Amino acid sequence: MVINLNKNIKSRILNGHPWIYKNEIKNIPNNVTKGEIVDVFHENNFLGRGYYNEDSLITIRLLTRKNHKIDQDFFDNKIEKALKYRKRFINDNSFRLFFSESDGIPGLIVDKFEDYLVMQINTFGAYEYKDLILNSLIKFLGPKGIFEKDDERSAKIEGFTCIEGWVYKKGPEIIPFQIDGINFFSDTKGQKTGFFLDQRINAKKVMEISENLDALDAFSYTGNFGLHVLKGGAKKVTFIDYSERALNILENTLKANSIDSSKYEIINGNSFDILKMFDETSRYFDMTIIDPPSLAKSRKSKKNAFRGYKELNLRAMKITKNNGILVTSSCTQIIFDEEFSRIIFEAMEDTHKILKLVHKGYQSPDHPIQKNIFETEYLKNYIFLVDDKNNY
């Protein structure tokens, strides 16, 4: 099936971006069906081949710029290429194996936790080719089990059945794995794929500067940053998260790493409220880590996200001791790096602090940033030395 684009399309498509919106299409044949593979042309030039979904604002998602047949060999090549890339740049046995558009299959995310895979489908097209994708994953990874954990919101938008369960063999509800020699658990009933692998490099950097510090890990989830800090020789870590389930897994994680109970405190609550309480009661830390979930799901909520990030960073700066460390992150793709930097600057002005940049990080290479697809660059991480302006 052939679909032609409007003459004046945006340069991002010509530069390799795989998304084609409905208003960029010149004509849609009456007999094209949802999930069908279509050939996309612009002024008689072949641009690529991808899957079609009339229910989505992103009507076509390109899979290839070549005249490839979309069959088992196609998906085999995609999975094999993604695996080779990870083996080249990641030393651990647990990593994000496949990162959607960055690896050439829009709507497919696969995380590898030791011998198990957790797969997430986000588009109707990926859902339609799931059997071929599973065949490729089994062929090249030979996993003990594959757990599918689809995004419910995406399933409703794209129009496919959201699945949560084992789709190949069986495995544990809580999957054990290691990063940097630390024992962790991926929760198949938790957020996203069960663990956030994208902070691995930033967490390791924080570990290197944690010796003898009293640290706070806010929005800790199951404790990635805090466990790295403890491994780095911290005196104590205070963990905060609103999810009781996540904190139960955190306790199991601490025990699995033989961490003495005197080395940590666990608080179940809203990190916004508790940071404010610490500020009001003058409780200070040598290191303050804030790694909140996405505060903006759409551009409509961007202003609220600005306010939220400023409030968090302002409170975090105020409870960080002079000459202490602030670790702050944003995983909201809608807020660009320069905007996040501006938010931090404004919080610094309001708190009369001085920040010295120690480290600027992004997501790890198993979540590859593809520069012609700006949506693939979402994680921002800063490590600052914090001091009072009056000390200068």
Q: Which two tokens stand for residue 29?
A: 């044949």
Q: Residue 188: which of 99, 255, 111, 123 has the closest Cα?
A: 111
Cβ neighbourhood burial of 255 (10 Å; 0-12, 13-18, 19+): exposed
pLDDT score of 292: 94
Q: Which position has the token pair 């200070």?
A: 284
pLDDT less than 70: residues of the chain: none
Q: What is the pLDDT of residue 250?
A: 98
pLDDT tens by residue, 290-342: 999 888 777 777 888 899 999 999 999 999 999 999 999 999 888 999 999 99
Which pLDDT tens digit goes with each residue over 44-80?
A: 999 999 999 999 999 999 999 999 999 999 999 999 9
pLDDT of amino acid 214: 98
Q: Which of 10, 60, 99, 13 minimizes the C-alpha distance to 376? A: 99
Q: What is the pLDDT of residue 367?
A: 98
Provide the pLDDT for residue 81. 98
Helix, strand, coil percentages, rounded to 5, for the chain: 35, 30, 35
pLDDT at 298: 72
Q: Which domains does the chain have, with CATH numbers?
A: 2-64 (2.30.130.10), 72-171 (3.30.750.80), 182-391 (3.40.50.150)
